[in-house]
Structure 1
């Protein structure tokens, strides 16, 4: 276990450094911050949302993320939401600017042109169709799920000010593995979870359980923190790999405490992975692991939890002419041991997860949906085909995971949610 834990710490150190060094540099990419479903805050000085917000706004991506269709609805005295603005905002590559065209509910049409002066600040100058300046609108992104808009007249007097909070839908039950935003979680777990909930994530999976805590919080505290962010704490990756797989006392001691801690946190499943597979030489060693996983799985089931094995690439190595992953699938009890398909690592290993879904139906109740960069950007993995086999695999928990970035991690995981929600889960 010491070797495995040290390797994990080294990887996380590299990951934490990487998460510090990304920005959103292009006008096109910066515009994507405005995509999603938004609602107005109670007032511009707070990010709190009223039970029935005064304004709802939908910003939908078009044309490979080059433009957004924006629809704004306002609540009237009868608590009905009626349209007050409809526009298209897009990136023009020839001028490297943001261009808009739209109209309001009174039938007044307008155009707008502007740009991001920084990652967080965007300014647009609106004109009527005669070319007369009508209003300048400044956008100030507090973070990836919180933006303040303010309109100014031609003398730079403030006309209005509104704060929008992202409120993407959760109806498709998409989760996130928190390693994707590990450094953000270490710095500010509460605010990071709030942003993930606003992005549309329904639940989280952790990997940092240690000494009975999660990110320095007790199981009960972390559960409350996640739920206040509008999500659930459903899964946890745990790591205990004793050299003696027959040491029943050590196994019971560690796993009983782990299980009870996670029950307090409200999780539905525990998962584990194996960092020692490259060193295995015999079928007996594989069988020892299967026996061990069966014991853990039975203990979890007795306590109302599921136990899931998570793959990397080493599971597809051969031991005495047998593929490790196949042996695990064939020699663990389906009543006790499920599998979490990490689609990216299967691709790295040169196997197609669909083949495994067909051969071992209903064993893969969880998926980690990960790409070589942001989801769908590499073009190397046929996610659309893989997602046709959800029913065959038996998947119940679909989680996004990003571990290599083109942008800041919290922006990247928002793009991952959009890709799964709009492109893969029809």
Structure 2
């Protein structure tokens, strides 16, 4: 064995050891952590926050991801969670940037939140989140603009770290549109430019699948980066014309309760350790369109159990 080959061999062995440690550390007991993104039942929550969370807990959910705090202060919100045996490890009702950012993060600590985003200014949501969904195949972002967003998210992550938190980055479909030149997508740049010690990727598996991404390959390419998942199902994934852009594919898809679509969650959860999964929540953006959002939340809960149980 040459010196070069020996160095390569030792490097590979070290990488395997580090990967094995990562996998062991990321183990998740999904049955004890199944969560719901409150956006699924947002209209019910707006009318009756505590009653809605009581019903969510009755279904069997253990965690939630809030999109608002129903005008409750952190101690009041935490009391409601505790009353129904719920926790909120992540939030989509993120902090706002400014002089009182740290005070807001202190409030999140009280609620038990460990992953957040910054509302406005690209401090948490992935770039291009407001882009036209049926665009012409190019992201309105540039590589440099996405890098700037990544730097801003890292900076917020350094602040959040002081409170035991990380920033999260959530995707839709537009983050998988090609940037000018056709070699990189916004999501590629975000993965490369954000610090894993400060920033966690919250992979919306449903939208990524609709966008034509291979979820298992994403895990293999960037192991350990996907600490948070949105568990979402859809139809129209397999039949989509491969020539369509991610945003165009979204227009041809339909969100449905978990287990009633085309996403293979049994295979995906089998690789949770590779992904680095810590927490996940079920979400169906259009649940209310069926007339009973809580029934849709229950159907998704049962659908995931059917796939994984």
TM class by smaller structure: 0.7 to 0.9
* Residue 188, structure 1, aligned to residue 48, structure 2: yes
CA contact (8 A) 1:194 1:230 kept: no
**CA drift at 1:283:** 1.9
Pick from 184, 191, 205: which aligns with 2:65? 205
Tell me the alpha carbon deviations over residues 338-392 of structure 1, each in whole angstroms, 9 at most, x when there is no partner: 10110111022111221111100010011101112111112x2222222221010
Structure 1 residues 386 and 407: alpha-carbon distance in aligned structure 2, compared to 1, 3 A threshold: farther
8 Å contact 1:280–1:286 — kept in the other structure? Answer: no
Alignment partner, residue 3 of structure 2: none
Q: Which whole-Å CA distance do the structure 2 matches of 1:282 and 1:176 have between them?
A: 34
Query: Following the alignment from structure 2 to structure 1, what is the Cα–Cα distance between the partners of residues 41 and 98?
Result: 32
Q: How far off its partner does 1:326 sit? A: 0.7
Match runs of 1:85-124 below 5 Å: none
- Per the alignment, residue 412 of structure 1 pairs with 296
Aligned to 1:326: 188
Shift of 1:255: 2.9
- Corresponding residue of 2:204: 342
Say whether residues 1:356 and 2:228 are aligned partners.
no
The reply on whether 1:401 has 2:261 as its aligned counterpart is no
CA displacement, residues 283-322 of structure 1 (integer Å, 9 cap, x when unaligned): 2211110100101111111211122111111110122331
Determine if the alignment matches structure 1 residue 374 to structure 2 residue 257. Answer: yes
* Structure with greater helix share of residues: 2
CA distance, structure 2, for counterparts of residue 236 and residue 395 of structure 1:
16
Question: Secondary structure at the residue paired with 2:281?
Answer: strand
Local SS of the residue matching 2:168: strand
Query: Judging changes above 3 Å, is the alpha-carbon distance between structure 1 residues 183 and 275 closer, same or farther for their aligned structure 2 residues?
Result: farther
1:203-256 per-position Cα deviation (integer Å, ceiling 9, x unaligned): 111122xxxxx1111111111111111211222114578xxxxxxxxx452532
Q: Residue 219 of structure 2: SS of its match in structure 1?
A: helix
Is 2:164 aligned against 1:304? yes
1:341 is paired with a residue whose SS is strand
Cα offset for 1:171? 4.6
1:384 correspondence with 2:266? yes
Give secondary structure in 1 for the equivalent of 2:259: coil
Residue in structure 1 matched with residue 87 of structure 2 by the alignment:
232
Please give the TM-score of this superposition, normalised by the length of structure 2. Answer: 0.73
Moved more, 362-371 or 274-283: 274-283
Q: CA RMSD in A?
A: 2.0
Q: 2:201·2:226 contact (CA, 8 Å) conserved in 1?
A: yes
How has the CA–CA distance of structure 1 residues 189 and 281 changed in structure 2, closer, same or farther, with 3 Å as cutoff?
closer
| 2:151 matches 1:267 | no
- Tell me, what secondary structure is at the counterpart of 2:90? strand
Equivalent position SS for 1:230: coil
Is the 2:127–2:186 contact (alpha carbons within 8 Å) kept by the matching residues of 1? Answer: no
Question: Hey, what's the Cα distance between the residues in 1 that align with 2:297 and 2:128?
Answer: 30
Structure 2 residues not aligned, in runs of 5+: 1-29, 118-123, 132-138, 234-254
Structure 1 unaligned runs (5+)? 1-169, 209-213, 242-250
State the Cα deviation string for residues 16-46 of structure 1 (Å, max 9, x = none): xxxxxxxxxxxxxxxxxxxxxxxxxxxxxxx
Q: CA deviation at 1:407?
A: 5.3
Larger RCO of the pair (alpha carbons < 8 Å, separation 6+): 2
Aligned pairs, number:
241
Residues 234-282 of structure 1 show CA distances to partners (whole Å, capped at 9, x for unaligned) of: 22114578xxxxxxxxx45253233122112221221432363547442
SS at match of 2:223: coil
**What TM-score comes out, normalization by structure 1 length?**
0.54
Which structure has the greater CA radius of gyration?
1
**Does structure 2 retain, via aligned residues, the 8 Å contact 1:175–1:203?**
yes
Judged with a 3 Å threshold, the aligned counterparts in structure 2 of structure 1 residues 240 and 190 are, in CA distance, closer, same or farther, namely closer
CA-CA distance at 1:414 after TM superposition: 1.1
Report if the CA contact (8 A) 1:294-1:336 is conserved. Answer: yes
1:216 matches 2:68: no
